[in-house]
């Protein structure tokens, strides 16, 4: 039996610019995959979109001055049914009031499966799956762009892969902005880049919400766990460019144990040799 969790929505994010008094028209697509065996029943709704903590945990419940847009959005239809390999276009309208505040406004267009209730062990269970298309809107006016890079760090010594590099960016403005983080890895014994390869993109882009701090980490893998590397991380946010370059020693614990045992064995052998030499020397004196 096909699970309703396999449905697809598009776009997953939408960035738009609005002006007070404007009427904006957009479209959200919902698809039931070709390999589905069941019709897919769905409902559409809108909720606030917030984040909490520097790990950006999603919060669809808290409403504030940055989620007023949820009251401006209406749909041409709020439910439907799709057969396998069918796609529905859901039109929505954002009616921006004349007194809309300048800056960022954020909402989630939620598509929820509307499954029939099943009975499991005599208990009614409703299987519900939900996906969200996030709207990042900027209302024209007195927008403030402010903030800075507060962390750009690379470890100096690691005992296992992946090597984790970290960055943190704070947004002190009233609208979202983009932080870009790029990483380069080279072996100290070669000028050839280990990462990125020619087919890889070494830059990630993250949205920084107003009045928040976001922690951005990246795990670097795909090269030898034993080696010495030069890692360079560049964080670009607004007009600031933070560059950190560091030599990183990667040495697994098993190698350190083996090296320690080898050193102890050498020391013990030297000690035994010295002791034996002294014993022979004493014998010649006697």
CATH code (residue 93):
2.60.40.10
d(CA 62, CA 252): 45
Torsional class of 166: left (φ above 0), alpha (ψ -120 to 50), beta (otherwise) = beta
pLDDT at 273: 79
Rounded to whole angstroms, how far apart are CA atoms 232 and 251?
A: 19
Instruction: Place 23 in a pLDDT band, splitting at 50, 70 and 90.
Output: very high
CA–CA separation, 114 and 127 (whole Å): 8
State the average pLDDT over residues 113-119.
58
**Which residues does residue 183 pair with via DSSP β-bridges, in sequence order?**
233
Contact (Cβ atoms closer than 8 angstroms) between residue 6 and residue 42: no
Residue 144 lies in a domain: no
pLDDT-derived band at 116 (thresholds 50, 70, 90) equals low
Whole-prediction pTM: 0.81
pLDDT confidence band for 165 (50 / 70 / 90) = very high
Kindly indicate the confidence band of residue 268, based on its pLDDT and cuts at 50, 70 and 90.
confident
- Residue 15: closest CA among 136, 196, 165: 136
Q: Are strands 13-18 and 130-139 parallel, antiparallel or unpaired?
A: parallel
Please check whether residues 126 and 167 belong to one and the same domain: no
Over 90: is that where the pLDDT of 275 sits? no
Confidence of residue 115 (pLDDT cuts 50, 70, 90): low
Number of domains in the chain: 3
Using the 8-state DSSP alphabet, how is residue 284 labeled?
Answer: H
Residue 249 confidence (pLDDT): 92
Segment among 30-34, 54-58, 117-121 with least mean pLDDT: 117-121
Q: How would residue 265 be classed by pLDDT, with cut points 50, 70 and 90?
A: confident
- Tell whether 121 and 189 lie within a shared domain: no
Give the range of the structural domain holding residue 114, as residue numbers without chain letter: 4-139
Radius of gyration for the chain, computed over Cα atoms and rounded to the nearest angstrom: 29
Same domain, 78 and 132: yes
**Does residue 110 sit in the same domain as residue 32?**
yes
Q: What is the pLDDT of residue 121?
A: 46
């Amino acid at each position: 039996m096909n699970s309703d969790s396999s449905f697809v929505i598009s776009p997953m994010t939408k960035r738009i610019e609005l002006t007070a008094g404007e009427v904006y028209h957009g479209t959200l697509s919902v698809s039931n995959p070709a390999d589905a065996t069941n019709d897919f029943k769905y409902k559409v709704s809108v909720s606030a979109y917030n984040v909490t903590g520097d790990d950006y945990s999603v919060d669809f419940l808290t409403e504030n001055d940055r989620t007023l847009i949820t009251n401006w959005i209406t749909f041409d239809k709020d439910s439907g049914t799709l057969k396998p390999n069918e796609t529905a276009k859901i039109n929505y309208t954002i009616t921006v009031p004349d007194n809309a505040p300048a800056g960022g406004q954020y909402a989630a267009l939620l598509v929820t499966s509307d499954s029939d209730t099943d009975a499991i062990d005599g208990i009614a269970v409703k299987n519900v799956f939900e996906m969200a298309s996030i709207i990042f809107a900027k209302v024209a006016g007195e927008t403030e762009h402010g903030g800075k890079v507060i962390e750009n760090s690379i470890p100096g010594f690691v005992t296992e892969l992946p090597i984790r590099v970290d960055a943190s960016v704070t947004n002190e403005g009233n609208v979202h902005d983009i932080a870009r983080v790029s990483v380069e890895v080279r072996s100290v014994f070669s000028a050839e880049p280990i990462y990125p390869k020619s087919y890889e993109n070494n830059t990630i882009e993250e949205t920084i919400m107003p009045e928040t701090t976001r922690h951005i980490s990246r795990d670097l893998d795909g090269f030898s766990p034993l080696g010495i590397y030069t890692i360079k991380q560049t964080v670009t946010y607004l007009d600031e460019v933070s560059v950190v370059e560091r030599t990183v020693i990667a040495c697994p614990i098993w190698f350190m144990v083996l090296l320690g045992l080898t050193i102890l064995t050498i020391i013990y052998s030297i000690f035994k040799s010295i002791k034996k030499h002294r014993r022979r020397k004493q014998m010649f004196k006697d």
